Structure formats: structure tokens, C-alpha cells
Amino acid sequence: MDPLGHTPDPGAVPNAGTATRDIADVAAVEVITTAAVHLMSAAAVKCGLAEEDSAEHLDLDEARKLITALAALVTAAAPDIGNQHARSLRDGLRSLQLAFREASVVPDEPGEGPGEKYTGSVV
């Protein structure tokens, strides 16, 4: 099912015109929050927060990149997406930043953690 609630026909060939029209119907705030949720999910897995085999997926270098990208997106988009959406994204971002610090063997200095150049120190 796509973000608009459509169930694709498995045998159908994608039509560029339909895809363009479908994406045109999606509000910018939905596109931004969807991208943020994807970044959050990937960062959570890379921080070892997956339900199973968390150690297998732990990759703090990748997590740092994802969290920094998320912080930049949330910080830049916050004035445009409104406080209701920005607050929950900021909460999720902060949780990931703290999880990263907890998983890291060598702690970053305050203000030097992933995304902290955009958000300020989380400790």
C-alpha cells in the first residue's frame, strides 16, 4: 500500500503520469515526515535498537550519518511543518542521539555527537 492508501496491482506496469499525479496529491509535510521516519528507523537499527539481532546491525558510523541527516532535516523543516509535527520528530531525534551516546564506546564531547551541530548538546 502506498502513502495514499492505494494497493498496487502486482502485474501493473508503473505509469509515470499516475505516479506524478499521486505525488502531487501528497502534502509537503507528509513527504518531510515520511523521510524523517525512514531516517529514524534506519538510525535506530544502526544504533542497535532492533528487536532481534541488534548487535549484528550495530554500525555507529552509519548511525552518525543518519542521525546528522535527520537533525538537519528536522531543524530546517521545523518552521514550515508546524510545532505539532516538529515536536514529535525532535523527540525521536533526541532519543536516537541519546541511544547513540549509550551505544558508543568512546563518548563524544558535549555538542560533538551526531546532529548536535544542528540541535545543540543533548547531555
Give per-residue pLDDT as tens, 3-48.
556 566 666 666 776 767 688 889 999 999 999 999 999 999 999 9
Instruction: Give the span between the Cα atoms of 106 and 110, in whole angstroms.
Output: 12
Main-chain dihedrals φ then ψ at residue 25, nearest 5 degrees: -85, -5
| First-last CA distance in the chain | 40
Global pTM? 0.81
pLDDT tens for each residue of 90-100: 999 999 999 99
Instruction: Give the span between the Cα atoms of 63 and 107, in whole angstroms.
Output: 14
Closest Cα partner for 72 from 122, 33, 119, 31?
119
